[in-house]
Structure 1
Amino acid sequence: MFQSNKIKKLIFRSNLYDSLIFSQALIEDINNSDYYNLDITDIESALIDKIFSLVKNDLPRKYSTSKDTLFIISQGYITGGHTRLMENLSQMMPNKCPLLITRTTEDHVINRLERYFSTITKCFNNKDDLVYIQKLSNEIQAYEKVILNTHPDDIHTIIACALAKKINSSMKIYFVNHADHLASFGVTVADVWFEISLCGQQLDKDRGFSINTKKSFLGIPINKQKNQFFQPVSYNYNPQGTSFLTAAAAYKYNINENNSIEPLARRILSLNCANQISFIGSGIETNPILLPLKNTYSERLHFISSLPYDEYLLLTQNTDFYIDSYPITGGTAFVEQFINGKPCIGLRSNFYGYTPLDLIKRDTVDEVIELLTQKPPTQGFISDLQSKIFEVHGFENVKYRFLTTLYENVFFQNPMVEYIPQKPVNKSKKLHISKGTRKKGLALDKKMLIKLLTLKAFGKK
């Protein structure tokens, strides 16, 4: 792998604090660059070896008690899908499980999480990395099963898991790859790698390192009754005027590889002088991609930074069509609206395969408009699509896959492989090292960093 051995040596021979912050900054640059030719398993291994060499004489010879299952999350959020995914998984367990939170999380989020877990332990970094990792390891080592829902850069928790496995050799770690469009620390400690999309599966295949652990498809559960997945959906575009809604974090609408939602939004607004589009998302009102549209269609283009949930539901009920965010998909909001009976549209992008509803998306703006105005999907197509959606997202179906893997060691293939084509990853040829990472790297080894930055595979940023 490209220069991973040099970086591994650089990390191993530097002081602990500098090694950790450089590694976290580096994985952020890897993800921001879409660069896949650097083996992060080498970085993980170097840090694990480094910590183990420092604490091996202090490790207990065996774990004190044997408990069943622990959930771990880096940081909980009140919005977005990552914390919701963990909450849903916790409800599938035979009994309530304990939760370990490894980064500062707001009290009102913890109050919400108390509904789902038997106990919540907060173990935050006190700026002494070695003590922090040992505390985490002490919390983890007593469990037979550990379900990781960690952030991509949460190397402290991954190292703590590695130490815990050295003490408790029967422990199994299940990594929920909830941020699967990114590279994540955790590959070296996971016994099972839970996949949630085709996009993530393809990225894992195309990365510059191999995930040698067992892989099993999980999917994103939607906690609704089976009959709700089969509500009537009608694609009736009103030529007299139609209201559209799209909701996601503002960054999901940013231009990616020259792809933007602006041309689709412009065509929809130009179709009819009564058409309206509402964008909901934090920071959406200042997104520069959409400002030209706002100047042209100020009365029919609405930006809403946030809405109380009840008002959001009311707005969706009074909307005719839902548009998935683009070029980055909006997550479960897209398919949830469809399950609620709302016709959905969207453009295909490199972020794909999170839901069978991708089959309703089109490659071009013209094809989306044709779907809206001339060739709506047939009822047979919609019925078949609903069955596929239930197979992937039905709560009981995800629960079956999850628990069967957890307790019977059975692994599942992604059913979407059969009907959604996988795409090759557009790899970047250069790893753009940010100014912040360079500054952190100087603390490790100035000469080594300069050598790395002068190599052709590293770009300036």
Structure 2
Amino acid sequence: MDVKNAVIQATKETAKNIRKYAMELVDSDIESALIVANFYGDYLKNNSIGIFSDIDFEEYFAQRLLYITKGKVQNKRFETLHLMTTALTYGGHTRVVERFLNNGLGDGLASLDKLPEKVATAIPRNILKHERIRQQSGIATINSILEIGLHYEYVILHIHPEDIYSTVAAILLAKLDVRVLFYNHSDHTFSFGYSAAEKILEISKYGWIRGTIRRIVHKQTYVGIPIPVFNFNINKNNDRKFVIGVMAGYTRKFLPWGEYSVTTFLNQLFKDGETFSDMNIIICGPTGKERFWQRLDKSARDHVKFLGSIPHADYLKLISSADFYVDSFPVGNGTGFVESVMLGLPSFGLDLSTGYSYADILRSPSVADLIDALRCFRVNNAAVRRNTLEVRQRVINEQSVAVCIERIRSAMKGEPGIPLPPYLQSMNCIEDFWEKNWESNKIIHAPLRMLPNLPMYHIIKLLRCWTDTWPYSTTFLLIKCTLLRLINTLRSILLG
């Protein structure tokens, strides 16, 4: 067995061991079992080893906690609650929830953690806000979710993939006649939550084709990513000296994979001094200090500016003033790319994992084709803009917020599932894209940050689940975990 296959096999074996240990703990120490289960979910989310759900596992936990539903009954006072793990000021996930709430789908928003001020003010004032639901113990957290959810007819899950607390609560809510739906925003990773929902609200081809392995084909219905109709000025910035482009995505989305390297792309792009000498690109997400950016040539670096992560409102202002958009790769953006099209921006990217929007037809099959598309934009700007506006209108027809809400309403009524649209079905989608990408980066994720509240005895037992393979050993993990506990203790002392 070669090194790569050995690491993959070891990672799978470790996941199996962690799963087993979590289930063994349920009857003797349910609080620790929930922490380990959360750890297990995060481990699978970040290590793409071909496991996309674990319905039996989450149902096992819910069955063991069925007793906490005793005496509880549904008391419907409102229609729809959106349940989140954590709302964020950046990224597309929270924007989806905001759009639903701002367009009449939802009476309440619940979050395990505090709502950022910019999120709280972005939704209507009449929306009931249930925040900081997370309690000191897992059981108390699940109970809090139950107490809130029982006042609603429907609960739509927008949870983090590892969130076992919301998952168990949702399963129990369903047993108490609350109707649960799951918005599959992280459809490319492992996630808890599939067994809780009567309908899985799908957003892309990638999530759709994973239905069989997740055992949810009978629950799937297409909804899509809701995209607002932005106003824009088609004649903006005509007198600007430079043509300004924006690239955007979380840092990890830019990590090179084989021939797909953003630094190589930028180096090749700005070698063409004649065509692109007056072009600058602003990159949102990375800071530019990440190791892989060291390969950026000076000629390219002179045309690139890094902003790091910025709030979504600031990001929209930035791309509204830009001349074009280039999506992150090798991992693209389901929301960011189509938003740029809605702003009338000529938009470019790679089609490694498409099928999130009709806008994906604008993507290119290779880095060379991507550069050619940008060259065409510089030479024939007007034609590229006209094509962008035609695609934009089709996106409005297919993915406006109103259309997506109508599809969810259909699921609420219990109508037959809506199939994946043919135009998405025909798009390029490397079926094992995420597994291959993870394998090539050779990074095994160990979510030790989740363990400080776990008794040391259980930490030691848990770390023994870890197979001794590159790059981690049990001893290394134990030392790191101990340091994290000390840091957390000192932080608590300093904060009083």
| TM-score bin (small chain) | 0.7 to 0.9
Residue aligning to 2:372: 370
Q: How does 1:85-164 map to 2 (within 5 A)?
A: 85-93=96-104, 97-113=107-123, 115=124, 117-164=126-173
Is this contact kept in 2: 1:12–1:47, CA < 8 A? yes
Residues in 1 aligned to 2:179 and 2:254: alpha-carbon distance in whole angstroms: 38
Equivalent position amino acid for 2:139 in 1: L
Is this contact kept in 2: 1:196–1:220, CA < 8 A? yes
Residues in 2 aligned to 1:257 and 1:14: alpha-carbon distance in whole angstroms: 47
Distance 1:315-1:249 versus aligned 2 partners, 3 A rule: same
SS at match of 1:358: helix
Equivalent position amino acid for 1:399 in 2: I
Is this contact kept in 1: 2:229–2:396, CA < 8 A? no
Is this contact kept in 2: 1:193–1:215, CA < 8 A? yes
Q: How does 1:319-338 map to 2 (within 5 A)?
A: 319-338=322-341
What is the CA distance between 1:107 and its match in structure 2?
4.0
RMSD: 3.8
Equivalent position amino acid for 2:44 in 1: I
Q: How does 1:45-444 map to 2 (within 5 A)?
A: 45-53=59-67, 55=68, 59-60=70-71, 62-93=73-104, 97-113=107-123, 115=124, 117-166=126-175, 168-169=176-177, 171-205=178-212, 207=213, 209-211=214-216, 214-224=219-229, 242-256=243-257, 259-272=260-273, 274-293=277-296, 295-305=298-308, 315-316=318-319, 319-350=322-353, 352-373=354-375, 385-407=391-413, 409-415=415-421, 416-426=423-433, 427=435, 432=444, 434=446, 436=448, 443-444=457-458
What is the CA distance between 1:104 and its match in structure 2?
3.1
Task: Describe the superposition over 1:139-175 as per-residue Cα deviations: whole angstroms up to 9, x where unpaired.
Answer: 1123221111111122111211222233x23x21011
SS at match of 1:99: strand
Residues in 2 aligned to 1:311 and 1:100: alpha-carbon distance in whole angstroms: 25
Equivalent position amino acid for 1:322 in 2: Y
TM-score scaled by length of structure 2: 0.76
Is this contact kept in 2: 1:433–1:460, CA < 8 A? no
Is this contact kept in 2: 1:123–1:135, CA < 8 A? no
Distance 1:269-1:210 versus aligned 2 partners, 3 A rule: same
Residues in 1 aligned to 2:462 and 2:57: alpha-carbon distance in whole angstroms: 15
Identity between Structure 1 and Structure 2 (%): 20
What is the CA distance between 1:65 and its match in structure 2?
4.3
Residues in 2 aligned to 1:91 and 1:431: alpha-carbon distance in whole angstroms: 39
Equivalent position amino acid for 2:430 in 1: K
Task: Describe the superposition over 1:255-275 as per-residue Cα deviations: whole angstroms up to 9, x where unpaired.
Answer: 246632122212221112624
Residues in 1 aligned to 2:390 and 2:119: alpha-carbon distance in whole angstroms: 38
Task: Describe the superposition over 1:232-251 as per-residue Cα deviations: whole angstroms up to 9, x where unpaired.
Answer: 79xx9x9x974432123323
What is the CA distance between 1:340 and its match in structure 2?
2.2
TM-score scaled by length of structure 1: 0.82
Residues in 2 aligned to 1:311 and 1:67: alpha-carbon distance in whole angstroms: 34
Is this contact kept in 1: 2:205–2:425, CA < 8 A? no
Residues in 1 aligned to 2:21 and 2:257: alpha-carbon distance in whole angstroms: 29
What is the CA distance between 1:324 and its match in structure 2?
0.8
Of the structure 1 ranges 301-310 and 131-140, higher mean CA displacement relative to structure 2 is found in: 301-310
Residues in 1 aligned to 2:428 and 2:121: alpha-carbon distance in whole angstroms: 42
- Aligned residues, how many? 442
